């Protein structure tokens, strides 16, 4: 049985590709930079320690031999001249201390003994641990004590070195940021172009520049948009042509049926002809909505606009009310917006007998128009499906009970043309709410 390796918890990683690349590349390069600096520092420290030990091995025999030949008074004068950065000579016994604890201290004491050719009895003692300091006492030939005090010091660092390192890190991160931006910006443009791709083919083609891979992807996306536009145009033309050509024989059928004697059968035939005519008209409307021509957008007072739309229904005796709400204005296309609202209101009237409209601005500043009814509602599983063409919830094909299944499809298509979104949700207590989200409040 094969085991599946655990996945890296995605919640620990940034959400965007750019941030992830910055994190991975930045962390990797900083780690490599730190490793290189550590190796360099270790090598320099090792070289410095070796140099100090070599200098110690060469300097101590000469210094001790010199002090042996000087008088006590002269030794006092020469002691400061023999002092080094990490060790010095003291004309006194060593301080009271403990045995040497560190390996480095024992190594230095052994080195001093070797440098003096084991001619002196050395008495090393650790007098301090922080900072580390130890003394090695010996007795000169005249019986006077001489102490070599060793104080290991860290490797000297120039004052400008930390600033150089900081500048290197900043330059490194800047280069990583520029590289990641250069790599991810075309991807963001591709994603935006795919999101805004117009099935009618009215969108501008994506520029085919940048790297070879990005140019190839842009070319593929442009080709896809052209094919989708051609496919949609072909299907729309077929639907429009069929709907248009059927109008003439339908008219002849109506005339012939009306010429028959009045009877129950004639009334049924006329009703069938009316349903076919309605279906053809809505088919033409759907075909036109796929290729809608946008008039120039205008700044629209949506509250007054909704009052106008609702007033037209009230003038014909329809139970449509505008419940007010927030005030908002928006740059949009009023004729297309009116068609969307009319389809949504007609759908509410068909299933509930009444409708309400409401204008509001949500928490994100998005302008929303709600069309509400108290009809039977829609099963949750079919809320998205009913926005597709010819999808009907009622299984019969009766016009009086199920409609043609094109009203919401047309509203959805025109909403996309406006750059908005159409959402359907069931209301508490029964009924349906159609929410048209148009954009940010001006």
Of 150, 183, 205, the last residue of a domain is 150
Give the per-residue SS3 of 11-52. Answer: HHCCCCHHHHHHHHHHHHHHHHHHHHHHHHHHHHHHHHHHHH
**Residue 3 falls inside a structural domain:** no
**Residue 105 falls inside a structural domain:** yes
The whole-number pLDDT of residue 185 equals 79
The whole-number pLDDT of residue 12 equals 66
Closest CA to 222 of 183, 262, 189: 189
Cβ atoms < 10 Å from Cβ of 212: 7
pLDDT tens digits in sequence order for the chain, 442 residues long: 445 455 555 566 677 777 878 888 888 888 888 888 888 888 877 777 787 788 888 889 999 999 999 998 899 999 999 988 888 999 999 888 888 888 888 888 899 999 999 999 999 999 888 888 889 999 999 999 999 998 887 666 677 878 888 888 888 888 888 888 877 777 777 777 776 666 666 666 777 776 677 778 778 878 887 887 777 777 777 777 777 777 788 888 888 888 888 888 888 888 888 878 777 776 666 666 655 556 677 888 888 899 999 999 999 899 999 887 788 888 888 888 898 899 899 888 988 889 999 998 888 888 899 999 998 888 888 877 777 766 666 543 334 444 556 678 878 888 887 888 888 989 888 889 999 888 776 6
> How large is the C-alpha radius of gyration of the chain?
45
Q: Kindly report the CATH number assigned to the domain that includes residue 330.
A: 3.30.565.10
**Residue 53 falls inside a structural domain:** yes
Looking at the structure of the chain, the number of domains it has is 2
**Residue 303 falls inside a structural domain:** yes
Range(s) of the domain holding residue 434 = 295-440
**Residue 156 falls inside a structural domain:** no
Backbone angles phi, psi at 135, to 5 degrees: -125, 140
**Residue 66 falls inside a structural domain:** yes
Of 150, 180, 208, the last residue of a domain is 150
Q: How far apart (Å, rounded) are the C-alpha atoms in residues 320 and 340?
A: 15
Helices (H) then strands (E): counts for the chain = 10, 11
| Per-position b or e across 187-201, b if 16+ CB within 10 A of its CB | eeebeebeeebebbb
The whole-number pLDDT of residue 401 equals 46
Strands 432-440, 366-372: pairing is: antiparallel
**Residue 389 falls inside a structural domain:** yes
pTM: 0.47
Q: Kindly report the CATH number assigned to the domain that includes residue 127.
A: 3.30.450
**Residue 328 falls inside a structural domain:** yes
Q: Report yes or no: 277 and 226 within 8 Å, Cβ to Cβ.
A: no
């Amino acid at each position: 049985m094969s085991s599946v390796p655990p996945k890296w918890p995605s919640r620990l990683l940034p959400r965007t590709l750019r941030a992830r690349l910055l994190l991975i590349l930045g962390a990797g390069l900083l780690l490599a930079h730190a490793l290189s600096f550590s190796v360099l520092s270790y090598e320099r420290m090792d070289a410095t320690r070796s140099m100090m030990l070599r200098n110690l091995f060469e300097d101590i025999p000469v210094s001790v031999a010199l002090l042996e030949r000087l008088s006590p008074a002269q030794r006092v004068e020469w002691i400061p001249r023999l002092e080094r950065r990490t060790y010095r000579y003291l004309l006194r016994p060593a301080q009271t201390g403990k045995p040497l604890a560190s390996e480095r201290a024992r190594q230095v004491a052994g080195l001093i003994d070797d440098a003096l050719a084991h001619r002196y009895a050395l008495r090393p003692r650790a007098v301090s641990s922080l900072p580390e300091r130890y003394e090695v006492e010996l007795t000169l030939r005249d019986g006077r004590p001489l102490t070599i005090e060793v104080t290991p010091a860290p490797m000297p660092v120039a004052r400008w070195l930390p600033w150089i390192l900081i500048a290197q890190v900043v330059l490194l991160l800047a280069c990583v940021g520029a590289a990641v931006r250069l790599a991810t910006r075309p991807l963001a443009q591709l994603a935006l172009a795919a999101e805004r791709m117009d099935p009618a083919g009215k969108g501008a083609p994506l520029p085919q520049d940048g790297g070879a891979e990005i140019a190839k992807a842009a070319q593929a996306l442009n080709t896809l948009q052209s094919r989708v536009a051609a496919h949609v145009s072909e299907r729309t033309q077929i639907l429009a042509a069929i709907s248009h050509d059927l109008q003439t024989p339908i008219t002849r059928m109506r005339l012939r049926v009306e010429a028959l004697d009045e009877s129950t059968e004639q009334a049924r035939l006329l009703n069938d002809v009316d349903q076919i005519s309605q279906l053809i008209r809505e088919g033409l409307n759907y075909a036109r909505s796929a290729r809608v021509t946008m008039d120039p957008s205008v700044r629209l007072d949506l509250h007054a606009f909704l009052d106008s739309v609702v007033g037209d229904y009230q003038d014909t005796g329809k139970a449509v009310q505008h419940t007010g709400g927030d005030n908002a204005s928006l740059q949009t296309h009023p004729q297309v917006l009116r068609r969307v609202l009319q389809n949504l209101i007609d759908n509410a009237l068909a299933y509930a007998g009444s409708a309400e409209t409401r204008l509001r601005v949500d928490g994100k500043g998005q302008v929303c128009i709600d069309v509400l009814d108290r009809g039977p509602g829609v099963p949750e599983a079919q809320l998205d499906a009913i926005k597709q063409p010819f999808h009907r919830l009622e299984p019969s094909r009766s016009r009086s009970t199920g409609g043609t299944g094109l009203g919401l499809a047309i509203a959805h298509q025109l909403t996309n043309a406006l750059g908005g979104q159409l959402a359907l949700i069931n209301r508490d207590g029964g009924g349906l709410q159609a929410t048209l989200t148009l954009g940010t409040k001006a």
